[in-house]
Amino acid sequence: MALRSFLDGALFAEVYGTEAPDVLALHGWGRRGRDFSAALEGKSGIAPDLPGFGASPVPDEAIGADAYADIVAKLLDSFDRPPVLVGHSFGGRVAVCLAAKHPGRVGPLILTGVPLIRLKTWRRPPVSFRLARRLNTLGVVSDTRMERLRRSRGSADYRAATGVMRDILVTVINESYEPQLGRIMSPVHLLWGADDTEAPVRVAEAAMSLLADSSLEVLPGVGHFVPIEAPGALGKAIDGALA
């Protein structure tokens, strides 16, 4: 495993193995390409630090998964044949967009813990928060106070993100990928932790109805972080896709 620069420094990626790569693995929010070190042991592949994470620079503006896919698509020239495309969580959002836009350039997909479809009904923020937000725009409530209110309501990822990366997070968590799922012709293996609370199994089940060729494998006792919690199962799934 070695960290290499790609795209004139726009991306840095972990490169696994010594043969021509045949796996492209995309990590989750706040993670890095090295998350796949155990799952890719003995294999040849590329696992980039997606823009804004690890060694890769932050995007200049707030973009969604589709624009991330446009960046990652430039890595496809590094492969002699369509690679097995692995996506965990946020990386799975990007993988789905990539496969939908470049159907002839990617091989089988393995998705795990990906919020592919928004199942929850959106709720408006409470009146007190909306009022504070309005008063902030008028200069009555300070930016510092508004930031405390946002952090008190946000997830751990939201609290950890700042600047453009927070705007990107807000963008992607409001995305849903039904159109992209319907355009994917490659076989898709959904490898899910039974105890995943961030993207429950029912998300994978709902996605299957939109995919042309899909299978679902549920891992008992495993949560959201399959590449870390169950690298053996992920590695086995990759071996199956390569075969």
Residues 2-31 have pLDDT tens digits of 899 999 999 999 999 989 999 999 999 999
The β-bridge relationship of strands 109-112 and 84-88 is parallel
- pLDDT top residue among 129 and 118: 118
Distance CA 117, CA 134 (A): 31
For residue 120, the surrounding DSSP H or E stretch is: none
C-beta neighbour count of 229 within 10 angstroms:
17
**Is the per-residue pLDDT at 121 higher than 70?**
no
Residues 182-224 have pLDDT tens digits of 999 999 999 999 999 999 999 999 999 999 999 999 999 999 9
Q: Confidence class of residue 135 from pLDDT cuts 50, 70 and 90? A: confident
How many angstroms separate the Cα of 205 from the Cα of each of 25, 104, 137, 192, 216? Answer: 22, 25, 42, 10, 8
Superfamily name with CATH number, domain 2-118+175-242 = Alpha/Beta hydrolase fold, catalytic domain (3.40.50.1820)
| 230 touches 222 (CB < 8 A) | yes
- Share of residues in the chain with pLDDT > 70 (%): 90
**Is the per-residue pLDDT at 99 higher than 80?**
yes
1-6 long-range contacts, Cβ below 8 Å, gap at least 24? 1/34, 1/37, 3/55, 6/48, 6/74, 6/75, 6/78
How many angstroms separate the Cα of 164 from the Cα of each of 57, 95, 161, 169? Answer: 11, 21, 8, 9
Q: Confidence class of residue 85 from pLDDT cuts 50, 70 and 90? A: very high
Domain boundaries, the chain: 2-118+175-242, 127-168
Query: Helix %, strand %, coil % for the chain, to 5?
Result: 40, 15, 40
